[in-house]
């Protein structure tokens, strides 16, 4: 191992392994522990780049992050893995270059939206960089700006009325109060009290298996107030929602088509919640707390002094 101080004050470490020299530069003199870790990382990346395929490397990448990534991200990764062309999947990382990546993104873009293609490349490039330390700049499909439809109070009331007697009615009521679908799926009867919902976990279906994890953000751990009739309905019927977001969205789209409404998913009920409270001049700080948003980026403005608030019945008109 050779440590050299460069003229610019930085330090360069070189190590020979299996006839190949590995090099890394540091701003300050590194410790032996740092050097060992970094050299092992470089050698490990080189090993996988030379000896494994993209698909195998991608599986290792996903597995290494399975405990820290959100359910939706893992679900998206699973979809990307199934969408990877067989030829690219079996390509060794050492044979992947800018042209190969451009071609695989071009192929993916034929059947997917620009946004999906960009996310797909984000995943592919992350795998490649993890094991090769190489980044490639390719041409991605241009972004398409679309007007996002936020359901109105009348839209939401109609969906909830039509959901009565289906497995989706309680889920839609809770979504109307800002709960994410993962939070709804994870709720148990013990999380429900009179007019109170305790949110401390999230759930999703990954590879058809129900997985329970902590909420999306620290702020997502929260207790919110809802109208009494919602918790009474839950206690009386002893159920919340045991399905997945796909099933409920398919039902929503079907009903919306029947009533000539634009498509909006259950997640849009969360957007409705924020929009409706904003229109009622409820301080953003209040529904930021109720919705479990980590920052005010979505809400734009944060108001102070919102620790206490009364139950808000969004189904009652002013």
Cα–Cα distance for residue pair 228/181, rounded to 1 Å:
21
Is 142 inside a domain boundary? no
More confident residue, 315 or 126: 126
Which has more confidence, 21 or 137? 137
Residue 310 domain-assigned?
A: no
Element (H, E) at 199: strand 196-199
Residue 64 sits in a domain of what CATH number?
1.10.150
List of long-range contacts for 21-30, beta carbons under 8 Å, 24+ apart: 22/46, 29/3, 29/5, 30/3
- Annotate 248-265 with three-state secondary structure: HHHHHHHHHHHCCCCCCC
What pTM did the predictor assign?
0.59
Statement to judge: residues 94 and 220 lie in one domain: no
33 pLDDT higher than 90: no
Q: Is there a domain that residue 314 lies in?
A: no
Whether 59 and 38 share a structural domain: no
Q: Is residue 67 part of a domain?
A: yes
Same domain as 171, residue 279 = yes
Give tens-digit pLDDT for 221-246: 899 899 999 999 999 999 999 888 88
Residue 307: pLDDT over 50: no
CA dist., res. 70 & res. 66, Å (int): 8
Q: Nearest 10 degrees: CA dihedral of 61, 144, 147, 220?
A: 20
Judgement on whether residues 216 and 246 belong to the same structural domain of the protein: yes
Q: Domain check: are 79 and 174 in the same one?
A: no
The answer to whether the beta carbons of residues 260 and 191 sit under 8 Å apart is no
Tell whether the model's pLDDT for residue 249 goes beyond 80. yes
Sheet with strand 222-225: strands edge to edge: 192-193, 196-199, 222-225
43 and 58 together in one domain: no
Q: Percent of the chain at pLDDT above 70?
A: 87
Residue 181 inside a domain? The answer is yes
Find the mean pLDDT for residues 209-221. Answer: 79
pLDDT of residue 304: 32
Q: For the chain, give percent helix, strand, coil, nearest 5.
A: 50, 15, 40
What is the reported pLDDT for 316? 65
**Is it the case that residue 83 has pLDDT exceeding 70?**
yes
pLDDT digits (tens, 9 = 90+) for 139-193: 999 887 766 788 999 999 999 999 999 999 999 999 999 999 999 999 999 999 9
Say whether both 59 and 95 belong to one domain.
Answer: yes
Whether 302 is in a domain gets the answer no
**Domain annotation covers residue 164:** yes
Same-domain check for residues 173 and 278: yes
Q: Are residues 125 and 183 in the same domain?
A: no
**Model confidence at 45: pLDDT above 70:** no
Cα 248 to Cα 177: distance, rounded to the nearest angstrom: 17
- Residue 25 belongs to domain spanning: 2-51
The SS3 call for residue 226 is coil
In a domain, 304, yes or no: no
For position 40, what pLDDT does the model report? 74
Whether 29 and 159 share a structural domain: no
Residues 231 and 128 in one domain: no
**Total domains in the fold of the chain:** 3
Q: How far apart are CA 132 and CA 148, in angstroms?
A: 39
Q: Are residues 47 and 61 in the same domain?
A: no
Q: Greater confidence, 212 or 165?
A: 165
């Amino acid at each position: 191992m050779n440590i050299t101080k460069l003229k610019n004050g930085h330090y360069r470490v070189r190590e020979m392994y299996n006839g190949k020299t590995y090099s890394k530069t540091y701003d300050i003199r590194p410790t032996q522990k740092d050097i060992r870790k970094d050299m092992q990382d470089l050698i490990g990346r080189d090993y996988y780049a030379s000896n494994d395929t993209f698909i195998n490397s991608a599986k290792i990448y996903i597995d290494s992050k399975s405990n820290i990534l959100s359910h939706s991200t893992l679900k998206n990764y699973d979809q990307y893995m199934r969408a990877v062309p067989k030829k690219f999947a079996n390509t060794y990382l050492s044979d992947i270059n800018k042209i190969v990546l451009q071609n695989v993104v071009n192929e993916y873009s034929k059947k997917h939206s620009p946004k999906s293609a960009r996310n797909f490349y984000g995943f592919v490039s992350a795998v490649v960089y993890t094991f090769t330390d190489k980044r490639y700049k390719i041409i991605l499909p241009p972004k398409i700006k679309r007007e996002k439809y936020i359901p109105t109070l009348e839209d939401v009331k109609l969906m909830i009325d039509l959901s009565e007697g289906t497995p989706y009615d309680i889920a839609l009521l809770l979504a109307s109060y800002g709960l994410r679908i993962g939070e709804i799926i994870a709720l148990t009867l013990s999380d429900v009290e009179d007019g109170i919902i305790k949110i401390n976990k999230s759930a999703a279906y990954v590879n058809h298996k129900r997985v329970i994890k902590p909420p999306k953000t620290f702020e997502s751990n929260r207790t919110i107030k809802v109208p009494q009739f919602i918790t009474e309905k839950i206690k009386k019927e002893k159920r919340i929602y045991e399905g997945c977001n796909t099933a409920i969205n398919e039902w929503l789209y079907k009903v919306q088509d029947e009533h000539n409404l634009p498509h909006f998913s259950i997640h849009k009920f969360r957007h409705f919640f924020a929009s409706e409270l904003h229109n009622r001049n409820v301080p953003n700080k209040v529904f930021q707390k109720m919705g479990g948003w980590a920052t005010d980026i979505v809400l734009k403005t944060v108001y102070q002094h919102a620790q206490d608030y009364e139950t808000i019945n969004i189904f009652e008109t002013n």
